[in-house]
Structure 1
Amino acid sequence: MGIPLRRESTETDRLLALSDGVIAIAITLLVLELTVPEVPPGTPTAAVPTLVFEQWHEFVGYVLSFLVIGSYWVNHRRLFVHIERHDRGVVWLNLVFLLVLAFVPFASSMFATYPNQFGVMFLAGALALTGLCLTLLWSYASRQRLLKEGLASRTVQIQAARFLASPFVFVLSIGVAAFDPALGILTWLLLVPINVALQSRLADSLEAPIDRSEDRPDG
């Protein structure tokens, strides 16, 4: 039984195939939530652009959710680039991540329908929970020593900070939206400079020579 289990722990193709499929479907469902405005009888067609512009919240929800799901896919891909093998915990945490991510299209639709305090907080909560699941997956893999040998602890920490950045910003936006929904939406823009800064630090840590003393236990 040892050899089959060892082979199973290093076989990640089906796990990644399932993840890519669920993420692709979730992204596709986002555009299906966009609706064509109905022109009331007797209204001139010249009013169509105005009706479209009145749906600004639907487009904001679509673009934001698409970009965030896309970034989560990129982070998920990078996560499994560093994971050398997996166990049952990784499999189930990955399923929980997909469970929450597949809920994002509904949260985006809720925001498009109710672009008020509740809609903003609902979408931000769903996106925050998705990012938190990805962070837990990375933390579990690093604690269980499932990552590739030679990965510096500083790189692991920076990657964890990057995974945690999105849920942090979305949780912050929930607090802000409780007072001002529009300002809560603007808070999401913080993701851009934060991710750029962390990506720069991550690139530097990957290019830097590995200090083996980082991985030695104290004492």
Structure 2
Amino acid sequence: MALPFRRESSETDRMLALSDGVIAIAITLLVLEITVPEIPAGSPLSVLPDLVFAQWHEFFGFVLSFLVIGSYWVNHRRIFIHIERHDAGIVWLNLLFLLMVAFIPFASSVFATYPDQFGIMFLSGTLTLTGLTLALLWSYASRRELLEEGLGSRAVEIQAARFLASPFVFVLSILVTAFDPGLGILTWLLLIPINGVLQSRLAENLEESDGESEVEATR
């Protein structure tokens, strides 16, 4: 009875195909939430540019959600690059992550329709939970020793910090939005430098690990 499960634990293609499909659909649905403005009866066509620019919050919500989902896809891909095998826990945690990804278009639509305190908090809360499911997936894989051999503990820690960076920023956004919604939106921009620093540290760590491996191999 154990043999079929062993074969299943080494098969990740179908799980990754499902993940890529759900993420691709979620990204596509984002643009469908942007409505085409209607020119009021009796108004000239020249008011259309003003109506389009008045939808700045819809475009902003689309771009932000697209980039965040895209970054989650990149991080999801990086997780499964390092996972050599999986178990039932990985499968269900991955489904939980996809559940949250599939919900992002609705949260983005709420923000686009109500770009006030509630809309900002709702979208930030959804993105926080999505990021936490990804961090939980990585934590579970590392604790269950499902990662590839040779991946140093420091690299695992840096990756964990990367996966927690987004939830941290969005929780901060929720707290700031309670006092100043505009500033709460601006806190989302912190994702750029934080991810840049962590990516740089991860690259340096992996280069050092590769260098040490080559030295040991020549001895």
Measured after TM superposition, the shift of residue 70 of structure 1 is 0.3
User: Does residue 28 of structure 1 match 2:28?
Assistant: yes
Measured after TM superposition, the shift of residue 41 of structure 1 is 1.0
Which residue matches 1:18?
18
CA distance in 2: counterparts of 1:180 and 1:23, whole angstroms:
32
Structure 1 residues not aligned, in runs of 5+:
213-219
CA distance in 2: counterparts of 1:209 and 1:52, whole angstroms:
51
User: Does residue 203 of structure 1 match 2:217?
Assistant: no
CA distance in 1: counterparts of 2:209 and 2:47, whole angstroms:
62
Which residue matches 2:136?
136
> Cα RMSD (Å) of the superposition?
1.1
Structure 2 residues not aligned, in runs of 5+:
214-219
Which residue matches 1:88?
88
Deviation track 1:73-130 (CA, whole Å, cap 9, x = no partner) reads 0000000000000000000000000001100000000000000000000000000100
CA distance in 2: counterparts of 1:177 and 1:104, whole angstroms:
19
Count of aligned pairs: 212
Matched AA of 2:182: A
Structure 1 outlier segments of 4+, above 6 Å: none
Which residue matches 1:57?
57
Deviation track 1:106-156 (CA, whole Å, cap 9, x = no partner) reads 000000000000000000000010000000000000000000000000000
Measured after TM superposition, the shift of residue 3 of structure 1 is 2.0
Describe the SS at the equivalent of 1:209.
Answer: helix
Measured after TM superposition, the shift of residue 37 of structure 1 is 0.4
Give the TM-score normalised by the residue count of structure 2. 0.95
Deviation track 1:29-77 (CA, whole Å, cap 9, x = no partner) reads 0000000100001111111110011100000100000000000000000
CA distance in 2: counterparts of 1:44 and 1:135, whole angstroms:
52
Matched AA of 2:4: P
Measured after TM superposition, the shift of residue 209 of structure 1 is 2.5
Measured after TM superposition, the shift of residue 2 of structure 1 is 2.2
Paired residues for 1:113-124 under 5 Å: 113-124=113-124
Paired residues for 1:59-208 under 5 Å: 59-208=59-208
Give the TM-score normalised by the residue count of structure 1. 0.95
